[in-house]
Amino acid sequence: MKPIFLMIKTEVGKAYDLAAILADMEVASEIYSISGEYDLMAKIYVDDETDIGRKIAELVVDQPLIKGTYTLITHRAF
């Protein structure tokens, strides 16, 4: 398993609503409210064989509160 970090831009004022939805879905191990271009950052663990693009697409398509994402793929922890 390796972590990816998903930066999420939400509808204006809906970051906390989306964070609650994601927490209920149990798709992320951690969800943070952040400042800047994106509103939330979710830490998601995936199997090495997982198609990350497909996993993110499946998550995003079902959530109308998500307006954009940026995915950071990790390679190694120190």
What CATH number did the domain enclosing 22 receive? 3.30.70.920
pLDDT digits (tens, 9 = 90+) for 1-38: 899 999 999 999 999 999 999 999 999 999 999 999 99
As given in the structure block, the two tokens for residue 78 are 């120190």
Residue 13 falls inside a structural domain: yes
Sign of the Cα torsion 17, 18, 20, 25 reads positive
Which two three-digit tokens encode residue 22?
Answer: 């994601």
Token pair, residue 61, equals: 């398509």
Could you give the number of structural domains in the chain?
Answer: 1
Residues 47, 59 contacting (CB under 8 angstroms):
no
Report yes or no on 23 lying in a domain. Answer: yes
Please state the pTM of the whole predicted model: 0.90
Domain around 38: 2-73
pLDDT at 65 over 90: yes
Tell me the residue ranges of DSSP E strands in 1-78: 2-10, 30-33, 40-46, 66-73
Residue 77 reports pLDDT greater than 90: no
Per the domain annotation, does 67 fall within a domain? Answer: yes
